[in-house]
Amino acid sequence: MKKLITCSKLKTDSGQATTEYALVLLGAAVIALLVIAWATDGGGAGRIGELFDTVLSGIFDRTDSVG
């Protein structure tokens, strides 16, 4: 019986939130680095510009048709 009590005391969640937070930050940093690498070396800069142009053109077209 004493072994069960000791084992249950070892399985606490102390520090789990901190660990999860650190892992989420690490994952976000890796994704950010991949996006930066893609945008600078992989020709992503032109694609991002095209994306913004498309989005802004769509917005302006919709506002012109309303007004």
Whether this prediction's pTM lies above 0.75 is answered by no
The tokens describing 20, both together, are: 């999860």
Residue 23 within a domain: no
Q: pLDDT, tens digit, for every residue of 18-50?
A: 899 999 999 999 999 988 887 777 667 777 778
% of residues, the chain, pLDDT over 90: 30
Does some domain include residue 54? yes
For residues 39 and 45, the answer to whether their CB atoms sit within 8 Å is: yes
pLDDT for residue 10 = 60
Domain count for the chain: 1
1 pLDDT above the threshold of 60: no
Q: Is residue 61 part of a domain?
A: yes
Q: Give the integer Cα–Cα distance in Å for 42 and 49.
A: 14
Hunting for tokens 């070396």 — which residue is that? 41
CA distance 35 to 26: 14
Print the domain residue range for 47.
43-67
Residues 6+ apart with CB under 8 A from 35: 44
